[in-house]
């Protein structure tokens, strides 16, 4: 970034190509060369004013100096206020986010509908209507079909009422 315009009346500097008029005193701005623009960005305060006065060939009036400083002060305050506002908004969002996370954690414990997601589901069709394979069923199967039927159920806990898969 470099300074592109100076105001010969109040010593303001501008960076914007669109800004052809001084926002402080409404004087038409003067375009500065590339090297001067670089120089101006690196000097501040008194040094900058001195440089400008040398360049302009006349001192800047107290009235203009005051006008310019007031304007810069106002700008600075606006920027600070904006920063504070952004910080405040950020804090609010952070609080809302934390509150939501807490609510979600709370709901998953206390809300039965979300607690239901912990209930086992059929890995094939997703149905929750499962039947626990009881020892009695195994015992009956063993009695009816011998060991073959019992092996089929070995290590499996549920039978899906919907698609019949065991897992």
- The residue ranges that bind Zn ion (CB under 5 A) are 7, 9-10, 12, 22, 24-25, 27, 122, 124-125, 127, 160, 162-163
Least separation in angstroms between CB 103 and Zn ion:
33
Task: Report the candidate in 5, 40, 3, 7 with the shortest Cα–Cα distance to residue 26.
Answer: 7
- Write out the two tokens for 139: 């015992």
Least separation in angstroms between CB 39 and Zn ion:
19
- Structural Rg of the chain based on CA atoms: 39
Q: What share of the chain is helix, strand, coil (3-state, %, to 5)?
A: 55, 10, 35
User: Of the two residues 59 and 142, which places its CB atom closer to Zn ion in the complex?
Assistant: 59
Least separation in angstroms between CB 40 and Zn ion:
15
User: Of the two residues 24 and 32, which places its CB atom closer to Zn ion in the complex?
Assistant: 24
User: Of the two residues 84 and 152, which places its CB atom closer to Zn ion in the complex?
Assistant: 152
User: Could you give the CA distance from residue 37 to residue 114 in angstroms, rounded to a whole number?
Assistant: 64
């Amino acid at each position: 970034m470099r300074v592109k315009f100076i105001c010969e009346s109040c010593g303001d500097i501008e960076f914007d190509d669109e800004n052809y008029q001084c926002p402080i005193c409404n004087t038409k701005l003067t375009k500065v060369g590339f090297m001067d623009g670089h120089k101006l960005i690196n000097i501040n305060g008194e040094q900058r004013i001195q440089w400008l006065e040398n360049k302009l060939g006349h001192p800047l009036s107290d009235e203009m100096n005051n006008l310019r400083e007031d304007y810069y002060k106002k700008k600075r305050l606006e920027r600070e206020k904006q920063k504070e506002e952004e910080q405040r908004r950020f804090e609010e969002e952070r609080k809302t986010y934390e509150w939501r996370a807490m609510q979600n954690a709370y709901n998953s414990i206390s809300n039965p509908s979300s607690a239901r997601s912990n209930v086992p589901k059929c890995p094939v069709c997703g149905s929750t209507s499962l039947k626990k394979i009881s020892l009695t069923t195994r015992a009956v199967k063993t009695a009816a079909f011998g060991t073959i039927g019992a092996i089929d159920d070995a290590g499996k806990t549920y039978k899906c009422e919907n698609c019949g898969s065991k897992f």
